[in-house]
Homo-oligomer: A and B are copies of this chain.
Amino acid sequence: MTELIRLLTRAQKLLRTASDDAMSRHGVRVGQNLVLEVLWETDGLTPGELASRLHVTTPTVVNTATRMESAGLLVRRRDPADGRLVRLYLTPKAQAARQPIEEARRRLAEHATATLTDDERRHMRSALEKIIKRMTESPPDLGDA
């Protein structure tokens, strides 16, 4: 089964690279795009909220947010009700980039999966869901050591 995982890793890397290339044409890197996708739907989230939705750590979001702030894509604002919280708000520049970026992402996904049959899509989806469920719920049993 290690071969299956090798294929999964390779495919994901190719997709990530292609995505980064596509996003770069719109002045956004691949990691920043993930932040945008969430904030386009729900603006004004905190770094911690964003981190849990993206399945990354808070420091990762903080660093990405800092780069995005330098790039003029978002602004930080302290929460008036709770001084520990910072809220991230998209700028008009980030709002304006929404349509072309979403379109580019959609096109890339269509392109990558264009040759798959319905059976392949269906079974790949259920297989991936099972793997995710397994990895999040069941202890991977890391031998002795």
Q: Which of A15-23, A39-47, A64-72, A74-82 contacts B (4 or more CB under 8 A)?
A: A15-23
Partner of A15, one of B18, B104, B131: B131
Which label, helix, strand, loop or mixed, suits the secondary structure of the A interface? helix
A96 within 8 A of B: no
Residues on B with C-beta less than 8 A from A9 are: 12, 15-16
Q: A123-B123, A131-B113, A142-B21 are in contact. Are A106 and B8 (CB under 8 A)?
A: no
Q: Which B residue's beta carbon lies closest to that of A128?
A: B7
Question: In the bound complex, how far is the Cα of B132 from the Cα of A18, in angstroms?
Answer: 12
- Least Cβ distance of A35 to chain B in Å? 15
Which residues 70-118 of A have a CB within 8 angstroms of B? Answer: 100, 103-116
A111/B141 in contact, CB under 8 A: yes
Question: In the bound complex, how far is the Cα of B123 from the Cα of A126, in angstroms?
Answer: 10
- Least Cβ distance of A11 to chain B in Å? 5
Partner of A14, one of B109, B114, B136: B136
